Amino acid sequence: MKYSKIIGTGSYLPENILTNAELEKRVNTTEQWIIERTGIHTRHIAAENQGTCDMAEQAALRALEMANCQAQDIELIIVATTTPDRIYPSTACLLQERLNNPGSAAFDIQAACTGFIYALSVADKFIRTGQVKRALVLGAETYSRLVDWNDRRTCVLFGDGAGAVVLETSDDPGILSTHLHADGRYKDLLYISGTLAQGKIQNGDGFTKMEGQEVFKFAVNALSKVVGEALEANHLSKTDIDWLVPHQANIRIIGATAKKLKLPMEKVVLTVSQHGNTSAASVPLALDTAVRDGRIQRGQKLLLEAIGAGFTWGAGLVVF
């Protein structure tokens, strides 16, 4: 059996850091409230002249370097993003040009915060079926541009960044399985109302709206179920998992999910305090952080999971 194996990880965060203390001056909130409710201390904000592709490029180069791989060796590029630089062409095509990688397949996936899990699943299928030998999979977001900085319910949560992995075909176990779900009945709990017509936003605006309590309740149940689904599919138990690498939405969702799964927080990769919710970028950002600081080692079993607007949600069980 052929597997797709992660051979390199990379990430990038913009230099500009926005602290809770600075947000106190913008909206009616306090640093203590933000930390208690979200676990977020800082978030990174893209510079005015910096776009999603710029960040994706930096993350990609770092992943390629770790993989000891040239960009020209990549046969598939998938970028998960809710914040593309252009309506079209795709951010993946823009990145392909930056990497001087003409001719490979390249496209974007939009599944909000679950986007990286969706993209990883698609790339895994390309490799398992023998269509490509190497793939570059990214989550990249300039999510700060979808935030109303006068809305304290949402502006404290989000930041910008990018994360990437390089996948390669392997005889050794890598991605064991992925599990994807969606339910459009919950479309009005986390959304942006605006639509684009005749070059202008119509029927609403371009800002994120969220019903926080409803999102929290759904997220904890959905994530615990999909993680259980991944374990059952591979005949594994919770104790077989070395690391849970969750979507870094906020500490309360992560903690509640870990508790429901009876996983100690010592087995959970946490980066949300440093960069907030970076949507599709958060899982690969957390993965790269834990790989580079030595927590995640070769041969360990990882559970990746995320939930996002749609609702979409998913999980991936990976032997690193």
Distance of CA 40 to the CA centre of its chain: 16
Report the C-alpha gap between 288 and 14 in whole angstroms: 16
Q: Pick the catalytic residue: 20, 44, 53, 113?
A: 113
250 is catalytic: no
Spell 261-274 as b/e; 16+ CB within 10 A means b: bebeeebbbbbbeb
H or E element: which one contains 62?
Answer: helix 52-67
CA distances from 100 to 42, 70, 74, 162 (A): 34, 10, 11, 19
Report the C-alpha gap between 162 and 14 in whole angstroms: 9
DSSP 142-188: EGGGG--TT-HHHHTTB-EEEEEEEEEEESS--EEEEEEEE-GGGTT
Q: Pick the catalytic residue: 20, 247, 250, 275?
A: 247
Cis link prior to 320 (omega < 30° from 0)? no
And the tokens for 18? 């926005």
Residues 6+ apart with CB under 8 A from 291: 9, 66, 320
Report the C-alpha gap between 204 and 206 in whole angstroms: 7
Coil/strand/helix, residue 56: helix
16 is catalytic: no
And the tokens for 113? 């915060």
DSSP 236-264: --GGG-SEEEE--S-HHHHHHHHHHTT--
277 is catalytic: yes
The residues carrying an active-site annotation are 113, 247, 277
